[in-house]
Amino acid sequence: MSTRTNLIPSKKKPPGEFHFMSIHIEAKPGEIAPAVLLAGDPLRAKHVAETMLTDAKCYNNVRGMLGYTGYYKGVRMSVQGTGIGMPSISLYATELIAEYGVKHLIRIGSCGAMQPALKLRDVLLAMSASTDSNMNRRAIGDMDFAPTADFYLLNQAWEVAKHENIPVHIGPILSTDSFYDFSPGSWRLWAEFGLLAVEMETAALYTLAARRRVQALTLLTVSDHLDTGEQLSAQDRQTAFTEMVKIGLETVYRLYSPGAV
Ligand code: HPA
């Protein structure tokens, strides 16, 4: 039985299907690989391309939102900056999918932990993304869609984590619209429902991927803890993300080299 259930073609085409009039990405047709890692910070995308990929070529510099295509263990893949928040990631993800034919999107991001069991530098695989945003409600006639990771990607990432001996937490997260919330303790209600951590992009990414019948997964590294107030320094962030990036790269590698591991 196939686990790629979300790839069943939709009868209705989503709106906004226009070809190679991409506004925010200036890549030429064919310059972006079908699998893309998405980093909020474009400089993280650059860092991943320069340190983890071979023969990486920059295909985008519009608004400084860098994107690169290169090779990891011989498998062609891309890494693209998305900016912060759901509107920003949505426009890059939409253009990648609708105009460049991208099929697999793996976000590599940071998050704030909401549970005592989570520590700085821990890695999470986001199974689902609740949200305080109105974006998804607008997409589905004011009803609630349940944004979830693609099971096939989630399972592959989990297999990679086990193989690489990288401990991970797998569970639900929150995608918020407000980094600096007007009611600072409001996250505690979400924590009571078992949400592990908060970030600002995944609910929109999972919803978009579902609507456009592609696969998406979010990997996160804990950069701060909402309860204790601890934070990674900018320097520590760079090194702490290495394990998460490795899971992302190896997951894509396995998609294109089945049986290689
Ligand atoms: N809140 C929202 N997004 C985040 C956080 C946070 O504390 N940390 C990293 N991304």
198 CA from centroid of ligand 1 (Å): 6
pLDDT, mean of residues 170-193: 95
Over residues 17-54, the pLDDT tens digits come to 555 578 999 999 999 999 999 999 999 999 999 999 99
pLDDT, mean of residues 220-241: 92
pLDDT, mean of residues 168-172: 98
Over residues 76-109, the pLDDT tens digits come to 999 999 999 999 999 999 999 999 999 999 999 9
Q: Percent of the chain having pLDDT more than 90?
A: 83
Query: Which of the four pLDDT bands, split at 50, 70 and 90, describes residue 2?
Result: very low
Alpha helices in the chain (DSSP H): 42-52, 86-100, 135-139, 151-163, 187-192, 202-211, 234-240, 242-256
Question: At residue 10, does pLDDT exceed 80?
Answer: no
Q: Which residue has the higher pLDDT, 108 or 261?
A: 108
111 CA from centroid of ligand 1 (Å): 5
Would you say the CB of residue 111 lies under 6 angstroms from ligand 1?
yes
Mutate to test the pocket of ligand 1, among 111, 131, 195 (most ligand atoms within 8 A of CB): 111
pLDDT, mean of residues 101-119: 98
Would you say the CB of residue 176 lies under 6 angstroms from ligand 1?
yes
- Say how far apart CA 210 and CA 206 lie, in whole Å: 6
Question: At residue 256, does pLDDT exceed 70?
Answer: yes
Question: At residue 119, does pLDDT exceed 50?
Answer: yes
The pLDDT value given to residue 9? 62
The pLDDT value given to residue 7? 57
pLDDT, mean of residues 124-128: 98
Distances (CA, A) of 24 to 32, 86, 175, 214, 236: 14, 15, 23, 20, 30
Query: Which of the four pLDDT bands, split at 50, 70 and 90, describes residue 234?
Result: confident
Question: At residue 200, does pLDDT exceed 80?
Answer: yes
Q: Which residue has the higher pLDDT, 139 or 56?
A: 56
Would you say the CB of residue 198 lies under 6 angstroms from ligand 1?
yes
Q: Is 224 a catalytic residue?
A: yes
The pLDDT value given to residue 112? 98
Do residues 108 and 219 make contact, with C-beta atoms less than 8 angstroms apart? yes
pTM: 0.93
Would you say the CB of residue 221 lies under 6 angstroms from ligand 1?
no
**Neighbouring C-beta atoms of residue 125, cutoff 10 Å:** 25
Buried b (16+ CB within 10 A) or exposed e, 131-145: bebebbeebeeeeeb
Closest C-alpha residue for ligand 1 atom 9:
111
| Average pLDDT over the chain, rounded to an integer | 93
